[in-house]
Amino acid sequence: MFQRGYRFVSRCAPALKAYGPIFLAHHGISHQLTTSPATMAASRSYHCQEFGTLYKDDYRMFFMQDQKPISPFHDIPLFVDKDGKAVEANANTGIFNMVVEIPRWTNAKMEISRDEPLNPIKQDSKKNKPRFVHNVFPHKGYIWNYGAFPQTWEDPEHVSPETGCKGDRDPLDVCEIGFRVAKRGEVLQVKPLGIIALCDEGETDWKVIVIDVHDPLADELNDIEDVEKYMPGLIQTSVDWFRYYKIPDGKPPNTIAFDGQAKGREVATKVLYETHDYWRKLVMEKSSRGPEWSCLNTRCKGSPFMVSPDEVEKVMDKQGKQQPAAPWDPALDTWHFIDREAAENSVARK
């Protein structure tokens, strides 16, 4: 059953021949596809410039287009075609831009900054210390290419009818499940397949599951059931990841809405359009919404926060020169083992 419409590739042929049709759900790697012309064209249009020291609080990654800095939150379009070209929201390509903040298997909690002009990526910090997620066994770091959708925002004044919780004041989070480990700052063209809802202190924190449209398996994956079919265990493991990843920090398990089940493409797409509308209000109106967010931008026509590309060049002048990465703390390589049964019993007792 896994062979239907399957892109067959030579280096996996023996596997698929012997065992594949029966039990191998395989990505069907093609070397050519790792640098598809479309991907190249799309990534060519943006590039990143790094400042400061990786893993320290002065680290910043700025986004550039046509040699000028832009905001990844406001200036990178959400609705695109497969080559990353902006389209109207009602074009319904089903394809969206995603900004990669955290490559798969890494631990540094990088994110688009809220209050800094042009929203460079920086490392989240807690008590003035750069924040890393711990490895919760059997996971190694983030298990997807993790990031945010540009031009989306989870409005704290909006109570989701699905979860009964308010928005968490952040761009919409996204987990890309393709075969490739993306780079921090890459802008990928992705299609939504499903969505998981975390409810954290009364706030909804949606996590959209997507695949890079240039991934060899992209054509086979169109909804959440396809993920289970081609990548058995991935959704359940993703829910496990979100439920337990804060335990090593002394926090309780996260609450996952919908009884720990992922919803499909339809809900994911609805949330994408909704959060895009909330972002539009944020950037187009001088209101009290999201006062912590810098809305400075160079591309959002009609926004009171828009300035000319030349005006923002000086934003980067204040940044320190890029330095070698700070030494890695080996303690971050620890695997934290959690007795899930005991954890669930403990929650049930409360």
Task: By CB under 8 A, name the binding residues for its own copies.
Answer: 11-12, 14-20, 22-27, 29, 31, 34, 104-105, 137-140, 143, 179-181, 230-234, 237, 247-252, 329-331, 333-340, 342-343, 346
Shortest reach from residue 28's CB to its own copies, in Å:
9
Q: Which residues have C-beta within 8 Å of that of residue 282, sequence separation ≥ 6?
A: 153, 155, 289, 290, 293, 295
Integer-rounded Cα Rg, in Å, for the chain is 20
Shortest reach from residue 136's CB to its own copies, in Å:
10
Half-sphere exposure of 176 (CA within 13 A, CB side): 34
Half-sphere exposure of 289 (CA within 13 A, CB side): 22
In whole angstroms, give the CA distance from residue 275 to residue 288.
17
| DSSP code of residue 343 | H
The smaller minimum CB distance to its own copies, of residues 139 and 280, is found at 139
In whole angstroms, give the CA distance from residue 238 to residue 235.
5
Shortest reach from residue 151's CB to its own copies, in Å:
29
The smaller minimum CB distance to its own copies, of residues 307 and 325, is found at 325
How many Cβ atoms sit within 10 Å of the Cβ of residue 62?
23
Can you read off the two tokens belonging to residue 111?
Answer: 């994110």
Distance between the two ends of the chain, CA-based, in angstroms? Answer: 44
The smaller minimum CB distance to its own copies, of residues 250 and 302, is found at 250
Backbone angles phi, psi at 173, to 5 degrees: -80, 155
The smaller minimum CB distance to its own copies, of residues 109 and 299, is found at 109
The smaller minimum CB distance to its own copies, of residues 237 and 287, is found at 237
Shortest reach from residue 223's CB to its own copies, in Å:
17
The smaller minimum CB distance to its own copies, of residues 3 and 334, is found at 334
Shortest reach from residue 238's CB to its own copies, in Å:
10
Shortest reach from residue 282's CB to its own copies, in Å:
34
